[in-house]
Amino acid sequence: MGSPCELVLYAAEDAGGQAANAVRADIERLEARYSRYRPDSLLSRINAIAAQGGRIEVDAETASLLEYAATCHAQSDGLFDVTSGILRRAWRFTDDATLPDAAHIDALLDFVGWHKLVWRAPVLEFPLAGMELDFGGIVKEYAVDRAATLCMEHGVTAGIVNLGGDVRVIGARPDGERWRVGVAHPRAAGAAVRTLALCGQAIATSGDYERCMVVDGVRYAHLLSPRTGWPVRQLAAVSVVADLCVLAGSASTIAMLKDAEGPAWLEALGLPHLWVDTAGRVGGSLAAAATSDC
């Protein structure tokens, strides 16, 4: 998954070991299918067809992910767009990076837009050659939910699944207390902006601090708007709590992409949330910290 992963389970030794093995195998399966870094992955095969223009019939799991991508695109007014990953060709988020040429970004924008492909399950068609898909913001969170389900199917009643900061807790702690999960401060390494008490829920965070670059004192985040090709600028981090990690993850990403409109959109969405803007202000329904009933 390209990030630190952690699995904490409270169970009988046999059940816990079987659950851990099942989770590891499933995460490796999903990475092998949907990683953009693996030339033999299903996603790479899809993108090879997209580069030339053409169509492919996908399996049921991939179809469900594409359906979710379509839903997120609609619910975000086009801001959550799995075709926008192509914009990273213009951006290098490294310490010595420089700003990309605006003409390069504009040229890449011609190949961004969910509406430019044709999705009629199970057939995915790319009428415009040169596009590509990126399931970032969906697959890792989907893997978290699958991992939690596999653990519960193996009899685990208490635990934490943490894949690169996308977290789902299973039940309550063995002592009956809620799990305490810290939300990283986007501007203070190692510090938590809030600590939340969760039970049987998921939390996901999107922010401008894990992958970014600073040029002439200005921070540029890896979250790129599919409308402009440029990074978001208003919010530093958004965390959302939901029953499913995939929902929490897409909601936090959409809020970041909405920039100044993100807080109002989150409030209307109604899910528990916390945001920190680039001026350091903290808000959202979890700003005062909160607990959930087990």
The pLDDT of 114-124, averaged and rounded, is: 98
**Domain-embedded: residue 7:** no
Give the chain's domain count: 2
Reply yes or no on whether the pLDDT at 165 is more than 50.
yes
Output the DSSP codes for 162-203.
Answer: EETTEEEEESS-TTSPPEEEEEEPTTSTT-EEEEEEESS-EE
Reply yes or no on whether the pLDDT at 209 is more than 50.
yes
Output the DSSP codes for 58-118.
Answer: --HHHHHHHHHHHHHHHHTTT-S-TTGGGGGGT---STT--PPPHHHHHHHHTT--GGGSE
The region of weakest confidence among 13-17, 34-38, 63-67, 103-107 is: 13-17
**Domain-embedded: residue 274:** yes
**Domain-embedded: residue 278:** yes
**Domain-embedded: residue 10:** no
Percent of the chain beyond pLDDT 70?
A: 98
**Separation between Cα atoms, residue 240 and residue 244, nearest integer Å:** 10
193 close to 185: Cβ distance less than 8 angstroms? yes
**Domain-embedded: residue 143:** no
Residue 294: per-residue pLDDT: 59
Higher pLDDT, 199 or 4: 199
Q: Which domain range does residue 199 map to?
A: 171-283
Reply yes or no on whether the pLDDT at 200 is more than 60.
yes
Q: Tell me, what DSSP letter sits at residue 229?
A: S
Residue 124: per-residue pLDDT: 98
Q: Which CATH number covers residue 180?
A: 3.10.520.10
Reply yes or no on whether the pLDDT at 38 is more than 70.
yes
**Which tokens belong to 114?**
């969910």
Residue 2: per-residue pLDDT: 73
Reply yes or no on whether the pLDDT at 53 is more than 70.
yes
pLDDT tens sequence across 220-279: 989 999 999 999 999 999 999 999 999 999 999 999 999 999 999 999 999 999 999 999
Q: Which CATH number covers residue 118?
A: 1.10.3980.10
**Separation between Cα atoms, residue 183 and residue 274, nearest integer Å:** 9
**Domain-embedded: residue 97:** yes
Note whether 119 and 175 are same-domain residues.
Answer: no
Summary mean pLDDT of the chain: 94
Note whether 184 and 279 are same-domain residues.
Answer: yes
**Separation between Cα atoms, residue 3 and residue 198, nearest integer Å:** 23
The pLDDT of 40-47, averaged and rounded, is: 98
**Domain-embedded: residue 290:** no
**Domain-embedded: residue 29:** no
**Separation between Cα atoms, residue 50 and residue 130, nearest integer Å:** 6
Reply yes or no on whether the pLDDT at 292 is more than 60.
no
Domain final residue pick, 110, 126, 142: 126
Note whether 178 and 84 are same-domain residues.
Answer: no
Percent of the chain beyond pLDDT 90?
A: 85
| pTM strictly above 0.75 | yes
Confidence of residue 159 (pLDDT cuts 50, 70, 90): very high
Q: Tell me, what DSSP letter sits at residue 291?
A: B
Note whether 121 and 186 are same-domain residues.
Answer: no
Q: Tell me, what DSSP letter sits at residue 128?
A: S
120 close to 225: Cβ distance less than 8 angstroms? no
Reply yes or no on whether the pLDDT at 1 is more than 80.
no
The pLDDT of 95-102, averaged and rounded, is: 87
pLDDT tens sequence across 60-80: 999 999 999 999 999 999 999
